[in-house]
Amino acid sequence: MESPQKNVRPRKPRKVDIGTDPTDAGSTPIVGMKPMMFYGMIGGVVAVVTIGVAVYVLKVRKS
């Protein structure tokens, strides 16, 4: 039996603007930064802001 997907053409890889593809280790979202470092910094900033808001809500607004 023949494969039913005989006539399906392989997809061409889509072109992605430099710096927007997190899977590409060569892309740099901010000049000279690797994606992992960039997303790590973003995650760190989000964590610090979240903790700051939690402390504010629990301590400052209680009084």
What is the model's pLDDT at position 39? 84
pTM, rounded to two decimals: 0.44
User: Cβ neighbours of residue 22 under 8 Å, at least 6 residues apart?
Assistant: 35, 39
Q: Where do the domains of the chain lie?
A: 14-63
**34 and 28 Cβ atoms separated by less than 8 Å:** yes
Give the span between the Cα atoms of 20 and 61, in whole angstroms: 40
38 Cβ neighbours under 8 A, 6+ residues apart: 28, 29, 30
Q: Tell me the per-residue pLDDT of 31-49, one tens digit each, with 9 for 90 and over.
A: 666 777 888 889 999 999 9
